[in-house]
Structures are given as structure tokens and as C-alpha cells.
Amino acid sequence: MSTPVVFAPALYYAITVRDNNEACRNFGETFDVNPFYSNDGVHCYVQCGICGQLMEILTATLLDPQPEVS
């Protein structure tokens, strides 16, 4: 099992996630999500669009510079 990724609140990251649901056709696949917004820094997740299960966040890199939001 991997070490949990720690997010700072209200920042954007580039992350990699993996689907660990054996019943899903995406099982074992990894996906890049960029940009990913960290919300409050605690409730950070990516949900599979096929099976609806939460995916495991493998890596996170803080974007520098942060995207400008209008």
C-alpha cells in the first residue's frame, strides 16, 4: 500500500490516479489529472467514470505557477 498524499488546501496539482476496482474495465489503469484542485486539502478524491469507485491517488505535484482563476 502506498503512502497517502498530503494536499495543502485551495491549490492546484498534477496528480496520477489508479483504478483498484477489480470489477471495473479500468482496473489497474493509471490516469493523469491536471489540473486537480485540492478543495479543503482533506476531501481530495477522483471517482472512476465507469464504475463510480474512488481511485487511489499515487502522486501529486504542486503546479508552479498556480493557474489563474477568473
Q: What pLDDT band is residue 70 in, cutting at 50, 70 and 90? A: confident
Closest CA to 61 of 16, 4, 10: 16
**What is the model's pTM?**
0.89
d(CA 18, CA 59): 10
- The burial class, CB within 10 Å (0-12 / 13-18 / 19+), for 28 is exposed
Taking only the tens place, the pLDDT of each residue in 25-66 is 999 999 999 999 999 999 999 999 999 999 999 999 999 999
